[in-house]
Amino acid sequence: MRHRLMGLHHVTATVDGAQEDLDFYAGLLGLRLVKKTVNFDNNKVYHFYYGDERGAPGTIMTTFPYRGHGVRDGVKGTGQITVTSFAVAGSSLDFWRKRLSEAGVRYKEESRFGDPLIAFDDPSTLRLELIGDDEDDRVPNAIKGLGSVTLSLADPTETISLLTDVLGFSVVGEEANRLRLEADVAGTGGRIEILHEADREPGINGIGTVHHVALAISTEDEQATLREHLLDLGLQVTPFRDRKYFRSIYFREPGGVLIEAATIGPGFTVDEPIETLGRELRLPEWEEPNRSEIERELPSIVY
């Protein structure tokens, strides 16, 4: 049975400082901060959600700025998402070269499957790419949304099987040691790329690494069916987690990467109107009684 995963929902990374993260993703890259909340599992740490105007699934990058909490720097390697790519219009790459240069961000240029891209690091050393993909027909507002994530794997065999036999992806391209897969159901940010790196050391989670990638699934019913199927396959899957803006399950694919399946709804307008998304600190109901203490302990930021 193949499930209808609708491409990427969001990418979540462990990062360093809150202010520099905001300045980079909202300021320099021009993404909208669509939600300012706390890590639902640690209320002393912000959880920033960046995306398009309404925070559509497939456009979302989220960060936990862990500076000052004793989290070590991560090690980049296999069993990890080592690159997060955003889709831009091919004609906008000149604009981005200039913009990154002026901000002192060093980049390098490559091409992949015929598309030009520029690669650079965020302030926490996360590797990012802007891929000029003119076939991407999302509303062009500089960054259109996520394009793909790259999974670095020592042995990709079982991961490819899971993605193609269960999660509704198909292999659409191969270039050197890289495989490109695409979600069958048209969604935004529909690609996962697998980099086969047999000799690379395993990655270790920490600051400057991607924590997980979330794939979009349309309904809670479909999510429940997927969960049963993954359990039947012998994978460990978390119970349903209420993330307020979507409902989630998490599992580790055979190559070691943590994957979330997140529902499309209810979305970021569930607790504030679209006009003012991201302006105020939003908390889940169970944290509201602790609001004054939480606000006192979070680092101060200017946005």
Contact residues: Zn ion, CB under 5 A: 12, 214, 260
Comparing CB distances to Zn ion, the nearer of 179 and 183 is 183
Rounded to an integer, what distance in angstroms lies between the CA atom of residue 165 and that of residue 161? Answer: 5
Which of 223, 187, 179, 150 minimizes the C-alpha distance to 8? 187
Asked if omega into 273 is within 30° of 0 (cis), the reply is no
Please say which residue, 200 or 243, places its beta carbon nearer to Zn ion: 243
Give the nearest distance from C-beta 88 to Zn ion in angstroms: 23
**Residues pairing with 261 in the sheet:** 215, 249
Residue 66 beta carbon to Zn ion: minimum distance, rounded to whole angstroms? 15
| Of the candidates 8, 92, 106, 97, the residue with the CA atom closest to the CA atom of residue 57 | 8
Beta carbon nearer to Zn ion, 182 or 260 = 260
Q: To which H or E segment does residue 28 belong?
A: none
Match 């000052």 to its residue by tokens.
68
What are 122's two structure tokens?
């965020």
| Nearest-approach distance from CB 105 to Zn ion, in angstroms | 26
Residue (56 or 214) nearer to Zn ion, CB: 214
Nearer to Zn ion by Cβ, of 178 and 252: the residue is 252
**Minimum gap (Å) between residue 243 Cβ and Zn ion:** 7
CB of 153 to Zn ion, least distance (A): 20
- Quote the CA–CA distance of 174 and 163 in Å, as a whole number: 15
Nearer to Zn ion by C-beta: 179 or 277? 277
H/E stretch holding 227: helix 220-232
Residue 284's φ and ψ, nearest 5 degrees, are -70, 155
- Name the one residue in this structure whose structure tokens are 């790519």: 85
* Largest distance between two CA atoms of the chain: 54
User: Least Å distance between CB 238 and Zn ion?
Assistant: 11
DSSP secondary structure letters along 156-179: -HHHHHIIIIIS-EEEEEEETTEE
Q: Residue 12 CB, nearest distance to Zn ion (Å)?
A: 4
**Residue placing its CB nearer to Zn ion in the complex, 122 or 260:** 260
Give Cβ neighbours of residue 114 (< 8 Å, ≥ 6 apart). none
